[in-house]
Amino acid sequence: MSTKGYVAASWTADNNKRQIFTARLRILETAIPSPTNPSEEQVKADILLEDPATGQLFAAAPYTIPDVVEQVLDSSRFFAVRVQGEGGRKAVLGIGYEERSEAFDFSVALQEVRKTLGIEDDGKSGGKKPVKQKEPEVKKDFSLKEGETITVNLGGKGRRHNPIPQSPNVGGSGFSLPPPPGGSLLPPPPSAQEVKAQKRLSQNIDPPKPVDDFGFDDGEFGEFQ
C-alpha cells in the first residue's frame, strides 16, 4: 500500500504466488426491528467471503462506511476489503475478479447498498438508517354509482362545418340585391332630350273645342220649357 492507495501489482507478482484462497463473495442485507419503535427497521449490510463448495464463511466485512471497500490504483478488477473477525480484529484482504464485468457489477451493488443505508461517500452518516415499513395502499373505487354519468366535452374538436353556399351573382363587393317582385325590371328614367321633346309635343296639341264647335245647335228644341 502506498500513501495514495493500494496497488494490485504486488498481489499478482510471481504468477499469483501470494494468492491464499478462492472465495465466493456475497453482499448480505439484514433488517432488524427497532427496539424502541416496532414500525421501524434498522438495516445493515455485510460483505461475506465464503467457500464456494461448502458455503463456509471465510471472512466478513461489515459495510458501515464506503472506506471498507477501496478500488486499487492500477486495476479496475481488484479491490481492498477491510474484514473483521471475532474479537474485533481487522485485516485488509486484496480481492480480484477475472472479468471486468464482474468487478463492475460488484461496484454497482455497493452503490445500491450505500443508497439503502444512507451512507455518503465521505462516510459521515454512520452507516445505519432506519427504514419505515411501507403502509398498505388503500384501493379506491372509481366505478360509477347508480345514476351517475360521465360528460365528455371535446371543445369543438373534430366537428365539420358545412360551407355557406354563395350566390353565383355575387360580385367583388360581396353584396347582392334581390330581384324585384314578378321578375320584371323597372324602365330606365327618361333622358333630358326626351323630356324636352315631350314638352314640345304637349304645347302643339290643340285645346279641346266647346260643344258648339262640333256642329250641333239647339234648333227649335234647343231650349226646354
Looking at residues 202-223, what average pLDDT do you find? 54
Q: DSSP E strands: which ranges in the chain? A: 24-33, 40-50, 57-62, 69-71, 78-84, 90-96, 130-132
End-to-end CA separation in angstroms for the chain: 174
Model pLDDT, residue 225: 47
pLDDT digits (tens, 9 = 90+) for 183-194: 555 667 777 777
Residue with cell 507478482: 13
Q: Collect all residues with Cβ–Cβ distance below 8 Å to 4 and sequence separation of at least 6.
A: 73
Q: Return d(Cα 178, Cα 169) in angstroms, integer.
A: 10
CA dihedral 67→73→75→77, nearest 10 degrees, is 0
Q: Return d(Cα 91, Cα 82) in angstroms, integer.
A: 6
The domain ranges of the chain are 13-121
Q: Is 150 helix (H, G, I), strand (E, B) or coil?
A: coil
Q: Which fold has domain 13-121?
A: PH-domain like (2.30.29)
Residue 76 · residue 96 · CB < 8 Å: no
Scanning the chain, the segments in alpha helix (DSSP H) are: 13-16, 100-117, 192-204
pLDDT digits (tens, 9 = 90+) for 71-101: 999 999 999 999 998 888 899 999 999 999 9
pTM of the model: 0.52
48 pLDDT exceeds 50? yes
Least Cα distance to 47 among 35, 37, 55, 59 occurs for 59
Q: Give the whole-number percent of the chain exceeding pLDDT 90.
A: 35
pLDDT digits (tens, 9 = 90+) for 1-28: 667 889 999 888 888 888 888 999 999 9
Q: Is pLDDT larger for residue 160 or for residue 139?
A: 139
Q: Return d(Cα 47, Cα 80) in angstroms, integer.
A: 12
- Measured between alpha carbons, how far is residue 3 from residues 6, 7, 57 in Å? 8, 10, 31
Q: Give the whole-number percent of the chain exceeding pLDDT 70.
A: 63
- Average pLDDT along the chain: 76
Model pLDDT, residue 92: 94
**φ, ψ for residue 184, nearest 5 deg:** -90, 160
Model pLDDT, residue 113: 94
Q: Return d(Cα 50, Cα 28) in angstroms, integer.
A: 12
Q: Is pLDDT larger for residue 38 or for residue 222?
A: 38
| pLDDT band of 128, cuts 50, 70, 90 | very low
pLDDT digits (tens, 9 = 90+) for 101-126: 999 999 999 999 999 998 876 545 44
Cα angle 103-107-111, degrees, rounded to a multiple of 5: 165
CA dihedral 164→167→172→178, nearest 10 degrees, is -120
Model pLDDT, residue 130: 44
65 pLDDT exceeds 70? yes
